Each structure stands twice: as C-alpha cells, then as structure tokens.
Amino acid sequence: MSTIELSSLAKTYGGTEIFRDLSLAIESGEFIVFVGPSGCGKSTLLRMIAGLEETSGGTIRIDGTDVTRAEPQARGLSMVFQSYALYPHMTVRENIAFALHNEKLSKDEIAARVAEAARALRIEDYLDRRPKALSGGQRQRVAIGRAIVRKPRAFLFDEPLSNLDAALRTDTRIEIAALHKQLGATMLYVTHDQVEAMTLADRIVVLNKGKIMQVGTPEELYSNPANAFVAQFLGNPGMNLVAARATETGDLQAGGAALRFSVPPPIGTARIGLRGEALRPCDPGTGRLAGTLAFQEYLGADLCLHVDLASGERVVVRTTGMRRHQEGAAISLDFSDADCTFFDADGNALIAGNAVTA
C-alpha cells in the first residue's frame, strides 16, 4: 500500500499542452477512478505516473519519495492495459511468472506467488492452458495476475475491461472490487464506464481538457456536482440543466414557467440542475413545469421520458418502467426544492449564494 502525490504536474507534446498544474494526493489503499471525455489525458496521466511517459513539469511522489525521473521498474507499480498482450506460446502459469523474471526470486517463491494470484483471480484451473484457450475475461484476469505477482506498491489500470462483453465486464468488475478489498492496494483506474466509476471508486476524479473538474466520492459527485460539466458528465442520463432568470420577486423564470421556492434560490443563478429521477410526471396542470412528451425509451426497470418544456428545452425524466404515457401528449412535471442544484453563468454550482469549489 502506498501513497501517490502529484504536484503541479505538467505535460506538453511538442507545443501542445495536455496538463498544467495538476495536483492530486492519493491515499494509501485508495481506489481512485479517473473519468473524462476521450482525449482529455487520462492515459497520459497514468503513463506519466508509471514512468512510461516523460513529465514536463511538477513532481510525482510515491510514499514521499520523488520518482518524477525514476525508471518505470524503480517505481514498483504494475500497469494493466485494455489489450492484455499475453505471450501466446506460453501457458497461463508461464505468462504470470514471466513478470518476475527480472526479479531475483527462488523457484519456490515464484511458484507461491503464481499460486496466490491464481487463487485470488480464480484461474487456478487454467494455469496449464495457453491464452488462446481462454475467454476474454479469463485473459484479462491473467493480465491482472501478472500485475499482482510483482507485489506492486500500486496498480494502474487503463480501461482494463473495455474489450469484454457486458456480462463479462460485470463479473470482472466485481472481481476487481473483491481484489481491492483483499489486497488493500492503492489502485488508479481509468474508465469510460459510468457503472465501473460509481461502483469501484473510493473517489472519482473528473478530468476535462487536462484539468481536474472535481474530486470526490461517487455520492458527492452525483449529488453535489461542483459545476455543470460534472453534473452532465456523471449519470446516465446526465443532469438536466434548464436556463433560469431571476424575477423581480426573487423567484425564477425557467422552462417557460414561473417557479417559486420556499428558500430563495442563490443570487446569480443562471441554470437549474435537476436529475432525471427528481422530475416526477403528474396530472396535467398540477406540476411546476409543463411540456410535451417527445418520445420515451423503455429500459426495463426504468422508463426515460424525453420532454420538451414550454421554453423549448429538452429534459429527460427517469421514471419506473411502466409504459403509460402517450408521445406527443402534454405532460406536467413536479420536483422538490431540495432536488435542485443551482449554477451560475460560468457553470459553477451555487449554494446559498456562494460558489462551491472543487
């Protein structure tokens, strides 16, 4: 278990700046998940921490030691990639043991470590097979096994499950969560998958254009996004944002309706954020917002209603999966004051008139 501290990290490729002044302190044993749009620098950051990519500025410390210029091997980290890249001519056992060939270990020690990793990953029955006789999920577990036997100070995962089909992803995700509990190791994990981020992370780091937009527990980020980017990036669908304008009475004009609040909304509110599940369809004329049902998506347990408000803005309402609305019909939506997040014109969340900082 190790701490990892990133201080004012910078990275440029040629003249292109990927990161400037990125800082983050990762606690020992923490499971940190990085999310963000494609190209925002997630893989680059992981590769910089691993030592596979040069750092243009700032420092990387592992357990307090500056490793910014250290060779990858000297950092004691293990990285697992999307492509598992196993040696096809070697058995699973040989593939896993191969990761130890540079370390001066006895045969017994190597065998013990391979057995321990195989037990943890439940691949004991496949140790004598070659990779081509394994499923994708089993191959990725072998790749994780290679990482485990090195007893790294921390694990770095770059979208390890994205080559797997949905069912295998779920199984392997649960195994990675169990592995984290069992090893208590520090894990840094990049994913595009909302469910992986929400379920695996102690803390999620949302990146955009090389900047940290917010760091926090899944609950914090989902319920109290610091800004409109995080509000819309996390959650499927993302948070609905509706343009708002304060009226002379201190109420808000939004979505084509005059909205009254029991506690006045923060000064400077330019948008109201409402999660899909915070919007409740109700009898026409009885809710706080009025609109027309453009279309609905039946998802089994959930039903998503795409509603065009009187203002012309589209919101997505998440309700239970009973198909009982008519497309094209007028629909009324209600919500509670407590479920509103308020954002200023720059997209920063506001609480009682104060900007929340990430």
Residues at the contact surface with Mg ion, assessed by CB under 5 A: 43
Count, residues near ligand ATP per rule CB under 6 A: 10
> Smallest distance from the beta carbon of 20 to ligand ATP, in angstroms?
13
31: CB partners within 8 A, 6+ apart: 180, 187, 189, 200, 201, 202, 203
| Cα–Cα dist 139/159, whole Å | 14
Of 339, 333, 277, residue with least CA distance to 303: 277
The dihedrals phi and psi of 196, each to the nearest 5 degrees, come to -60, -45
> Smallest distance from the beta carbon of 205 to ligand ATP, in angstroms?
12
Out of Mg ion, ligand ATP, none, what residue 156 binds, judged by CB under 5 to 8 A for its kind, is: none
Q: Which is nearer to ligand ATP, 49 or 331 (CB)?
A: 49
Q: Which is nearer to ligand ATP, 91 or 208 (CB)?
A: 208
Q: Decide if residue 157 touches ligand ATP (CB under 6 A).
A: no
Contacting residue, 18, 118, 121, 176, with ligand ATP by CB under 6 A: 18
Ramachandran sector of residue 353 (left: φ over 0; alpha: ψ -120 to 50; beta: rest): left
Residue nearest to Mg ion (CB): 43
Q: Which is nearer to ligand ATP, 113 or 173 (CB)?
A: 173
> Smallest distance from the beta carbon of 17 to Mg ion, in angstroms?
17
Out of Mg ion, ligand ATP, none, what residue 39 binds, judged by CB under 5 to 8 A for its kind, is: ligand ATP
Structural Rg of the chain based on CA atoms = 24
Q: Which is nearer to ligand ATP, 18 or 349 (CB)?
A: 18
Verify cis geometry, omega within 30 degrees of 0, for the bond prior to 218. no
Q: Which is nearer to ligand ATP, 36 or 235 (CB)?
A: 36
Of 83, 85, 63, 84, residue with least CA distance to 74: 63
The dihedrals phi and psi of 50, each to the nearest 5 degrees, come to -75, -20
| Cα–Cα dist 127/248, whole Å | 73
Q: Decide if residue 9 touches ligand ATP (CB under 6 A).
A: no
> Smallest distance from the beta carbon of 155 to Mg ion, in angstroms?
16
The dihedrals phi and psi of 319, each to the nearest 5 degrees, come to -135, 180
> Smallest distance from the beta carbon of 193 to Mg ion, in angstroms?
13
Contact present, 200 and 189 (Cβ < 8 Å): yes
What is the signed CA dihedral for 218, 220, 222, 227, rounded to 10 degrees? Answer: -120
Interacting positions 32-71 with ligand ATP (CB under 6 A): 36, 38-44
Out of Mg ion, ligand ATP, none, what residue 255 binds, judged by CB under 5 to 8 A for its kind, is: none
For residue 263, count CB atoms less than 10 angstroms from its CB and return exposed for 0-12, middle for 13-18, buried for 19 or more.
Answer: exposed
The dihedrals phi and psi of 275, each to the nearest 5 degrees, come to -65, 150
Residues for the chain: how many in total? 358
Q: Which is nearer to ligand ATP, 43 or 292 (CB)?
A: 43
Interacting positions 225-264 with ligand ATP (CB under 6 A): none
| Cα–Cα dist 202/355, whole Å | 25
> Smallest distance from the beta carbon of 208 to ligand ATP, in angstroms?
10
Stretch that binds ligand ATP, among 31-39, 94-102, 144-152, 212-220 (CB under 6 A): 31-39
Contact present, 328 and 293 (Cβ < 8 Å): yes
Out of Mg ion, ligand ATP, none, what residue 40 binds, judged by CB under 5 to 8 A for its kind, is: ligand ATP
Contacting residue, 13, 87, 295, 298, with ligand ATP by CB under 6 A: 13
> Smallest distance from the beta carbon of 191 to ligand ATP, in angstroms?
9
Q: Which is nearer to Mg ion, 43 or 311 (CB)?
A: 43
- SS3 at position 98: helix
- The one-character DSSP state at 101 is T
> Smallest distance from the beta carbon of 77 to Mg ion, in angstroms?
17
The residues binding ligand ATP (CB under 6 A) are 13, 18, 36, 38-44
